[in-house]
Amino acid sequence: MASARLPDGTEVPALGQGTWRMGERGADRRAEAAALRLGLDLGMTLIDTAEMYAEGGAEEVVAEAIAGRRDEVFLVSKVYPHNASGRKLQAACERSLKRLRTETIDLYLLHWRGSTPLADTVEGFERMRAAGKIRRWGVSNLDVDDLEELGGALADCAADQVLYNLENRGVEHDLLPFCRERGMPVMAYSPVGQGGALLRHPALRAVAGRHGATPAQAALAWTLRAPGVISIPKASDPEHVRANAAARDLRLTEQDLAELDAAFPPPQRKQRLAML
């Protein structure tokens, strides 16, 4: 199974599970938790969530999914930027811990940058790490200049979670190399795009067809083609979960990659960091 190495040497699955849009409908929560548990059975033991997702509802779904299996799971959650300092940060983390029904979060991320100075957020993260509330901290939706602003604290930043897929390749110009040089993985959210346009693209469908795979599997395999990337697709039904897990076995050829580069050109210059 493909894995990614965090700066502290911890190995995590390169293909995990996302939870955006989970927990929004009470009637769906049992099925969503079952889908996550199936993902755990299939080795996708990294689960990403956030206090923003369904205003804590997704964290509650995750809690149900990992009940009795916490030791198997590498648990990631994220804090709102308006909660990212001082007592607000501590209180937000405590609420997430309560919803997740766990004593510690393996990786706690700043969801995006707000008005709070990064130094204040890092100070709060470090206090929570010292208290055992989190094991590691990282960021999301931060570009190279933001990471450079961390200064010496950058060495303790475990990951940067950003929008990365065939349609959004801007991070390849500078952010992805910057993180790789420092041994810090990039977590790719929305790896199969939004709204289905990517999955309908003829080039991606042609590549997938040659391998007897779905376009989504080919898109996931593309994000996993090189080291230093953790891909976190969301799936709410068993068939989708199994299909995502099978994408780990798909190896794109040089011809495949060349065709995808022609259809989705890699960046030739710095681009503004894309976000959802």
Active site residues: 53
Secondary structure letter of residue 142 according to DSSP: -
């198997």: which residue's tokens?
72
CB 192 within 8 A of CB 218: no
Q: Which three-class secondary structure state does DSSP give residue 11? A: strand
| 155-168 exposure pattern, b = at least 16 Cβ within 10 A, e = fewer | ebbbbbbbbbbbbb
One-letter amino acid at 188 equals A
Give the pairing of strands 11-13 and 3-5. Answer: antiparallel
CB atoms under 10 Å from CB of 123, counted, come to: 15
